[in-house]
Amino acid sequence: MLKRISALILAGATALTMAGCSSSDGGGDSSVGGGADDGKLVMGFAQVGAESGWRTANTKDIQESAKAAGVELKFSDAQQKQENQIKAIRSYIQQKVDVIAFSPVVESGWDTVLKEAQNAKIPVILTDRAVDSKDTSLYKTFLGSDFVEEGKKAGQWLVDQYKDSKDDVNIVQLEGTTGSAPANDRKSGFQEVISADPKFKVIASQSGDFTRAKGKEVMEAFLKSNPDIDVLYAHNDDMGLGAIEAIEGAGKVPGKDIKIITVDAVHDGMQALADGKINFIVECSPLLGTQLMDLAKKVVAGEQVPQRVVTEETTFTQEQAAEALPNRKY
C-alpha cells in the first residue's frame, strides 16, 4: 500500500517536473535568440513591495505597459526585503529571462547578484531607485526620478515661502526607509537648499518607513518633544497623511499651524493638498512603464541607451492640485 502511494507521488512529481522543464525550455530558447524568435520579450521585474499607494500605482502601470507592449512579465514582490529581491533576481537568472528590471530596496549590497546576471548575459535595468555600486557596467541604464532634485524642489519652495521672514523656521523631517535611495537623496537635496540660510533649522528627523502608521507614531512623538514646529517635510505622501492625523489630534491645524511639504503626489495626498491640509507636493511619477518597456526592447536589441533616464515630473500647489485631481490616474 505504502509502496503504491509513494509510486503514485513519484509519478506525479515526475510529471510536474517534466511540465516545468518543457515550459522553461521554451523560455530558454527564446532568450538564446535574444527574445526575437517568437517576438515575445520576457522581462523579470523585482518590485520593492506594496508599501505605499505610489508603489502600487507603479506596479499597475508596469503590468499594464507590459501587456500593451507585448512583453511577458514575470513579477515578484519583495515585501521591502533585500534578500527576497536577490532571491527573485536569482530565479530570473535561472529562468533565463531576456531582461531583468528592478527597484532596489536599499542602495548597497547588489554587486554579487548583478555580476551573476552579467555572467548570464542578461541585461539589467534599474527603475525608480539607484544602487551605489562603483561598477556602472553592471546595469544598462537607470530609469527613474531624480530624488536629489525632488528634495531641492521641496527645499526651494520652503525658501521662497519664508524669504521675507527673519524668524527661525523649525523643521521636522519624516525620513523614508533608512538606507533607501529616496530617503538619502530627498534628505540631502532638501538640506542642500535650506542650508544656505541659517534660519532654517531641522530640529528633529526620524524614519517613518514610508508608511502612514509609522508617520503618525513618529509625528506624535515629535509634537510632544518639540512644542514649536513650523514645517513638516515628509519623504512621501503616506507618512505625511499619517502625520496630519497626529497634528489634528494635537489640536493644531495641518497646513496652517504646521506647513506640510511631501513628495510623490499619490491620490490621497493630492486630495489632502486640495483640501488644504498639505501645502506643497513634489511629484514623483510612478508611471514609468511605457518608458521601461521601450528601454527594455532597445537594450535587448543591443542598441545604445543613456546611462540615466529621468522621468518627467512637476510640482503641485494647493490650487494646482484641485485642478489636476479629477484627471489623475493614481
If one asks whether residue 220 binds other proteins (CB under 8 A), the answer comes out as yes
CB of 285 to other proteins, least distance (A): 18
Which of 7, 15, 19, 213 binds other proteins (CB under 8 A)? It is 213
Site string for other proteins, 32-51 (x = CB under 8 A): -----------------xxx
If one asks whether residue 251 binds other proteins (CB under 8 A), the answer comes out as yes
Short-list 247, 268, 242, 264, CA closest to 315: 264
Stretch of 15-23, 52-60, 106-114, 318-326 lying at the interface with other proteins (CB under 8 A): 52-60
Closer residue to other proteins in complex, CB, 72/245:
245
If one asks whether residue 254 binds other proteins (CB under 8 A), the answer comes out as no
Closer residue to other proteins in complex, CB, 91/205:
205
Half-sphere CA count of 170, side-chain side, radius 13 A? 12
* CA distance readout (Å), 100 to 40, 64, 91, 179: 15, 17, 11, 23
Residues 297 and 270: their CA atoms lie apart, in Å, by 34
If one asks whether residue 186 binds other proteins (CB under 8 A), the answer comes out as no
If one asks whether residue 253 binds other proteins (CB under 8 A), the answer comes out as no
C-alpha grid cell for residue 226? 518639540
Closer residue to other proteins in complex, CB, 53/289:
53
Helices (H) and strands (E) in the chain, counts: 11, 12
What is the distance, to the nearest Å, from the Cα of residue 133 to the centroid of all Cα atoms in its chain? 18
Closer residue to other proteins in complex, CB, 65/207:
207
Which of 53, 144, 151, 182 binds other proteins (CB under 8 A)? It is 53
Element spanning 317, H or E: strand 315-317
Considering only residues 71-130, where is the footprint of other proteins by CB under 8 A? 77, 79-80
Closer residue to other proteins in complex, CB, 60/298:
60
Considering only residues 156-175, where is the footprint of other proteins by CB under 8 A? 175
Closer residue to other proteins in complex, CB, 115/256:
256
Closer residue to other proteins in complex, CB, 228/303:
228
Stretch of 144-152, 162-170, 241-249, 301-309 lying at the interface with other proteins (CB under 8 A): 241-249
DSSP-derived pairing of the beta strands 169-175 and 231-234 = parallel
* CA distance readout (Å), 68 to 35, 44, 63, 71, 73: 17, 16, 9, 8, 11
If one asks whether residue 283 binds other proteins (CB under 8 A), the answer comes out as no
If one asks whether residue 238 binds other proteins (CB under 8 A), the answer comes out as yes
User: Coil, strand, or helix at residue 161?
Assistant: helix
| Bridge partner residues of 169 (DSSP) | 200
Residues 209 and 63: their CA atoms lie apart, in Å, by 25
Residues 172 and 204: their CA atoms lie apart, in Å, by 5
CB 59 within 8 A of CB 269: no
Short-list 152, 227, 161, CA closest to 191: 152
CB of 304 to other proteins, least distance (A): 35
Binding site for other proteins (CB under 8 A): 49-53, 56, 59, 77, 79-80, 175, 178-179, 204-207, 209, 211-213, 216-218, 220-222, 224-225, 227, 238, 241-242, 245, 249-251, 268
